[in-house]
Copies of this chain bind each other. A is one copy, B any other.
C-alpha cells in the first residue's frame, strides 16, 4: 500500500512515451487549494439563440465538410471549417505546391498550409459529449476518422492533431460541445519527441512502450478493446490515458465496433471526472502516428487518448523548464478514480 501522502518524499519520474521529467510533490498539495475545480465549466452559459453551432443556425457557420447522418437536416454530428483557421487550406501559389521550409540565416520559415476544422458533437446546446450514448460518442470518433482519411493522400499534411477544449480555463471560446482537428505541414515538436522516445524504448527492449504501459496500481477501468490508466509520470493531477489493448499505430484504424467500445469508456471516464472533480474544464488530445509513418516506425508507435482536467494552471516554472509539478501521485489518483461510483 502507498504510505500516507504527508510522509512521502517528493519524487521525479520520467516515462518512455513523453520523455519528460515530472516532479511529484506531496507538499504542494497543502497549498491553500482543495484540488476541486474552482471554475466548473458552464453547462450552457451563452444563449442558444446566438450559438452558431446549434441546430438551425448552420448559416452562421463556416462551410460544412460533412454531417452525420448525411444530407439530413436532423443531423447528430457536423464537421465544419473553422471560421478563424490557424492554417490556410489554399496552397500558396507563389511557392511550390508541396510545402518545404526555407532555412534562413537564423531560423526556419514555412508557408502556413494546412487545415483546421471544428467538429460539432451534438445538435443541442446543452448536451455535452459525456451525455451522449456510447453509440453517439462513436459517431464523433468516426467523424474524426473519416476526416483524417480525407487527408491521408495529401503528402503536404504530415500530422493531424485532434483535440477538445471544454470550459474557459481549458481554452474554450465556445460552450457548445465541440472538438477541433488541425492538419499540419510539419511533425510538431511533442510528437517528434514522443516518437523518438518510443523508438528508443523499442530498440532497447524490443517492445512497444504503450503495449506495456504499467497498470499495477494505475489501472482505472477496462472495456473489451481499451483500458484507462493514470500514466506513471502524469504531468497533471488526475490526467488519464485511454489505451488500445492491442498494438495499433493510427487512430484512424478504429472500426465501428471498437468506436462504440471506446465511446463507452470515454463516456465513463468523463462522467467520473465530472463527479469527482466538480465538472472541471478539461482537454483531450488524440496522440497518433504521422500520416506517412514508415513500416519500421509503426512497430513502436501506438495511438492513445490523453484526457487532462484543468485543475491548477501552470506558471513560469513549467514555461521555463518544460517540467511539470504534480501534487498528486498517480497511484493515489488511480485509486480515487477507480472508486468513483457512477451508477
Contacts and interface: CB of A to CB of B under 8 A. Distances in A.
A86 B317 CA distance: 11
Interface in A1-48: 9-16, 19-21, 23-25, 27-28, 30-33
B101 A314 contact: no
Contacts of A271: none
Interface in A88-139: 88, 92, 101, 106-112
A321 B161 CA distance: 7
A325 interface: yes
Contacts of A285: 316, 319-320
A184 B323 contact: yes
A314 B15 CA distance: 24
A192 B172 CA distance: 32
Contact of A12 (B28, B106, B112): B112
Contacts of A92: 9
A206 interface: no
A31 B315 contact: no
A10 B86 contact: yes
Contacts of A156: none
A10 B161 contact: no
Interface in A148-162: 159, 161
A173 B11 contact: no
A83 to B, nearest CB: 8
B86 A169 contact: no
25 contacts: A9-B92, A11-B109, A12-B101, A12-B108, A12-B185, A13-B109, A14-B101, A15-B106, A21-B189, A23-B87, A25-B87, A106-B214, A107-B214, A163-B316, A165-B315, A171-B314, A182-B317, A188-B320, A188-B323, A190-B323, A191-B321, A283-B316, A283-B319, A285-B319, A285-B320
